[in-house]
A and B are shown apart, each in its own frame.
Chain A
Amino acid sequence: MRYVALVLVALAMLGTGGLVWLGWYPAIRPVQPPARTSFPAASIERGARLAALGNCMSCHTAAGGAAFAGGRPLQTPFGTIYASNITPDPESGIGAWSLAAFVRALRQGVDRRGQQLYPAFPYDHFTKLTAADDADLYAFLMTRGAVRAGKPGNELSFPFDHRFLIAGWKLLFFRAAPFRPDPARDAQWNRGAYLVQGLAHCGACHTPRNLLGAEEAGHMLSGGEVEGWYAYAVNGASPAPVPWSADSLYAFLRHGWQPQHGDALGPMREVTDELAGAPDDDLRAIAVYIASGLGKGAMRPVPAPIAAPASSGETLYQGACADCHEKRGGPPFAGIDLARSSATHAPNAIDLANIITGGIPASGEERAPIMPGFGVVLTGRQTTELIAWLRARFGAAHPRDGIAEAVQAARAKTGQLEAAR
């Protein structure tokens, strides 16, 4: 018995030692923050557009905080990780990082000091970036205003708070490799593939993750959960009742809204807001690539609403939802016909519960969609009944279970939001 224990201890020590050895990287010498004049203006401009495609700002900016100064919490199943400050402040940001240090972080997930980075930073995608794009992004970030801002320590459960384990995670799930174009496809498709798989890191939300938080290799873009939202499948498993096309995808990414599909909501809203700074050609390329993965699909007719059994959910729908969603109010206040909504047809009720409970808050002075939240007046039970009826009427193919849990989570989340105000 004692022998077995000794062997186990020895193995554990060997394993730990192995990981520490594997995961060891040297620090890269700090540099003086490079002067703005050391970067060509064109490179900075290209970097700005790349940063918009990469959605850098929304993760690296805290609510009400300075742009790129970090501190935004990312909830993961393993705990909370706070985004780093990526302004060129030499102490708290990346001001002392050379281009080589920046590239190592993007491609290998290791910071300037040689510390392993959690894959919440999607280097599993950024590893595909070209050297030219790396340099342009560097030029853009190093010419932002330097902001001194520390970030709270990560709140991760044991053993995930030990960074040396990331070396093991990488061994299992991470391959540092550049993007390989498909010679059988045209340049636009390949540009889209490069962006989707790399910089735009669509899979970080839209691909399901395994128990250790790695994207499941065989299920690219088949739908994932992030920060309490469900990111719909954008491959052949797309739940959209109106099939997406390259044109409608482009319009959705360009405007954050598409008449047949509705609005970008939750975390996707942040993405489309940031994509406002991305070039048209790139959004078209992304749309073409994604559309090619949706399969032929043909134009299915939008399923007609079916007669759902009468319930209090129908009463709530008629009183609270129908005026907008059946366009009785007329434009400009006209919600999407719920027969066309991906949320009503999704494999779970997570997003429906979020939207009904929290609404779609107005966003500053921008012209943008808005919907009142019903968490104030509906109880959890009433919300559950409403969702069950909506899904029975508009998205009949899907199971009814899990609704109460989704509603409970949505209500807890809105409660937290109100407390934080």
Chain B
Amino acid sequence: MILNINGQQQTVDADPDTPLLYVLRGELGLNGAKYGCGLGQCGACTVLVDNRAAFSCITPVAVLADKRIVTLEGLGSADNPGPLQHAFIEEQAAQCGYCTAGMIMRAEGLLRRNNQPAEAEIRAAMQPNLCRCGTHMRILRAVRRAAAVIRKNAEAGQ
């Protein structure tokens, strides 16, 4: 089947009930999304599906035929990080780093629909993703920082 990932049509050879995460990591070598619990409970595998954060570990590819999927790799690279990636680096919002990709994608989903979220909205949106190192305050700072940058870019663009 064909999947639209990071703006590219990718032909994948997988059973329709295969979770997206396995296709991303196993077949396409997109290792940004992490395998945490495999049960949609921790958020390490978060990607965007039609601009909304989804757990790729429990999303069978069968439902994704005509959807736009964005992974961490779709936001920028090490040399040219996107605003959220940059903000996470600036705020040093990682301890072990395992949750970071999912955190960034969850925040990306929020900022795509609302680039001036209130603190309560950020906390509510990030709630499904877990971090066991205790980096939460830095993660929240990074999301606020990225939101400010995105707003500034949007204003500059007008």
Contacts and interface: CB of A to CB of B under 8 A. Distances in A.
Please provide the 7 A-B residue pairs with the shortest distance between their CB atoms, ordered closest to farther.
Answer: A319-B60, A372-B40, A319-B17, A318-B17, A333-B39, A315-B17, A315-B16
A324 B39 contact: yes
Contacts of B39: 323-324, 329, 333
A320 B38 contact: no
A377 B54 contact: yes
Interface centre among A319, A320, A362 (most CB of B within 10 A): A319
A372 B62 contact: no
B59 interface: yes
A376 B16 contact: no
Contact of B41 (A320, A372, A378, A382): A372
B54 A333 contact: no
B133 interface: no
A379 B54 CA distance: 13
A324 B18 CA distance: 15
A316 interface: yes
Interface centre among B53, B60, B61, B62 (most CB of A within 10 A): B60
Nearest to B114: A421
B68 to A, nearest CB: 12
Contacts of B64: 377
Interface string B48-80: 010011110011111110000000000000000
Contacts of A314: 17
B127 interface: yes
Contacts of B52: 376
Interface string B118-130: 0001001101100
B19 interface: yes
Interface string A369-399: 0111010111100100000000000000000
A312 interface: yes
Given A312-B62, A316-B17, 13 more contacts: A315-B16, A318-B60, A319-B16, A319-B60, A319-B62, A320-B59, A362-B127, A376-B49, A376-B54, A377-B49, A379-B63, A421-B121, A421-B124
A40 B54 CA distance: 54
Size category of the A interface is 20 to 34
B96 to A, nearest CB: 21
Nearest to B48: A376
Contacts of A374: 58
Contacts of A379: 63
A382 B121 contact: no
B28 interface: no
A315 B37 contact: no
Contacts of A320: 19, 58-60
A329 B16 contact: no
Contacts of A370: 41
Interface in A317-354: 317-320, 323-324, 329, 333
Contacts of B128: 362, 372
Contacts of A382: 63
Nearest to A329: B39
A224 to B, nearest CB: 31
B121 A319 contact: no
9 contacts: A312-B62, A316-B62, A318-B60, A319-B61, A323-B58, A362-B127, A372-B58, A376-B54, A377-B49
B49 A333 contact: no
Interface centre among B17, B39, B52 (most CB of A within 10 A): B39
Interface in B89-114: none
Contacts of B17: 314-319
A374 B55 CA distance: 9
A323 B63 CA distance: 17
Nearest to A312: B62
